[in-house]
Structure formats: C-alpha cells, structure tokens
Amino acid sequence: MAVLLRIPKTSIKSFSSCISRNFSVTTLNSEIDLKVPSFLSQNSLPRRQETKDGNVQWVFLGCPGVGKGTYASRLSTFLGVPHIATGDLVREELNSSGPLASQLKETVNQGKLVSDEIIISLLSKRLEAGEVKGESGFILDGFPRTIRQAEILEGVTDIDLVVNLKLRKEALLAKCLGRRICVECGRNYNVACIDIKGDNGNPGIYMDPLPAPPQCVTKLIQRADDTEEVVKERLRIYNEMSQPVEEFYRSRGKLLEFDLPGGIPESWPKLLEALNLDHEDKCSAVA
C-alpha cells in the first residue's frame, strides 16, 4: 500500500494557543512547560519529498500491548527519526519527583487513561527537548488517543500516515500478562509463548517469547498495571475511545490498518511491505 502524503498547511497554529482554546489547564502545576517547539509552530513546514529523508511525521495506533512501541522503535531506527512514546513519557514522570508523579501513579495503577491535559503537557516538553537536539520529524506512539487530541495535532502539523496495528484479543491479553521489564536497563521482554489455533475464519497466530539476556533475567519485574483485571479494563476503555480516532484519520485517507500475522519475524517484513519500504538494505539496522 502506498504511503499517502498531504501538503502541509500554509498557516500552522501554535501548539500553546491550540491548548488554551481546547483545554483547561488550571489543574496542572505551573512548573509544567507548555511551550511549543518552533518547528511545530513555524508558518510553513517543508513538504516531505521522500520517506527516507528523515522527516516523516507518522502516528502509531493500537491497543495497549499490541506492539506499537516495538514496531515504532524499529521504524525509528530504520528511518532515522525520533520515536516518541507517550507511555514512556508517563513512566518517566512516574519515576521522577515531578509534580504529576503521585497523580499519575493512582491513575495508572487503576488502569485508567491519563488525561488529555497531562499527556499534551508531557508531549510538549518532549518535543521542546527534541528541538534543542536538532531533531526532525517523528513517529508518535500512543498519541493522539482522543478526537480532541487528534484535532489539536492536526491544527499544529500535518501527519503523513497513521498506522493502526491490530491483534486478536486473546493474543493481546497473553502478551500483556507476559510482559516483563528489566529494572536495570529498562528494556521490555515477554515470557509468554502464544499459540492460538485458527477458528471461525480467523487465522491462527503463533508468537515466540521474547527472552531476556542472562544479565537481565534476575532483574525482571512485572508492571503493577499488568494484571488480568487491569489489562481487560484498559483494553475495554481503549476500544471505546479508539473508534472515533480511527474514523477521524480514515475519513482523511491517512489510516493504514495492519493485522499482525504473528511475532516480529513474521510481522516486520510484511509491515515494511505495507509501508512501501525496501528493507533489503537495512535489515541489519533493525535486527
């Protein structure tokens, strides 16, 4: 499937003005910086001529645990653009002594979704930091999550493509419950071996575990919110909220639906094919 591009708007609204019109931020601590990076508020964003020039502006959607971070990170390396995951931003804030840490801890442990105001605040700070480093383009993972967020993002910059990753519910649940994190290096692994037989017209799916290297095995932990009850509630809430966002981008001709056929070995080359990307010369970059 060809990647659809759209010529950026001739006049881009500033991120901060969009937030002030659409959100009440009075509940946020005054220390949170809502300043917008200049590359998102400039009057004219350059037209991206080719996918490989490092200036893609893509979004990855999908249920929690589907693998957005895995595939967005691989594409980030493949294309040379930053991978910005709102889930990581939330976890970094949770592990800090920042003003939102206690509020976020309660929300995450209950399996609830973090508010738009907080997500946009964290994303704004991350984009500002990226601008200082000279970053260009991005792959957003976990944002936008609501119509309000999608509308604000559209008012700020043009998104080239939205990839919606899909996976059978049984596989999703098993993946989430099998997820483990190394407390030392922060990398994600998975102890689940998923083998679901095909039925009722649905193809079977097999996914190998993602084992940790020897140095990480004794340091693995399970996230506090990766319990069956919390995971099911998280998936229910996501499914309720995701339909309008998917339709938002589908109506604009930007949504690419991609059903994961299995684990990374099966899914990665098929995803690159769906994105019209030649992976032959870059396999080593994402191995």
Three state DSSP letters for the chain: CCCCCCCCCCCCCCHHHHHHHHCCCCCCCCCCCCCCCHHHHCCCCCCCCCHHHCCCEEEEECCCCCCHHHHHHHHHHHHCCCEEEHHHHHHHHHCCCCCCHHHHHHHHHCCCCCCHHHHHHHHHHHHHHHHHHCCCCEEEECCCCCHHHHHHHHHHCCCCEEEEEECCHHHHHHHHHHEEEECCCCCEEECCCEEECCECCECCEEECCECCCHHHHCCEECCCCCCHHHHHHHHHHHHHHHHHHHHHHHCCCCEEEEECCCCHHHHHHHHHHHCCCCCCCCHHHHC
Among candidate residues 145, 175, 180, 254, the one labeled active-site is: 145
Among candidate residues 112, 223, 250, 282, the one labeled active-site is: 223
Active site includes 234? yes
Active site includes 250? no
Among candidate residues 48, 74, 125, 179, the one labeled active-site is: 179
Active site includes 187? no
Active site includes 179? yes
* Catalytic residue list: 68, 145, 179, 223, 234
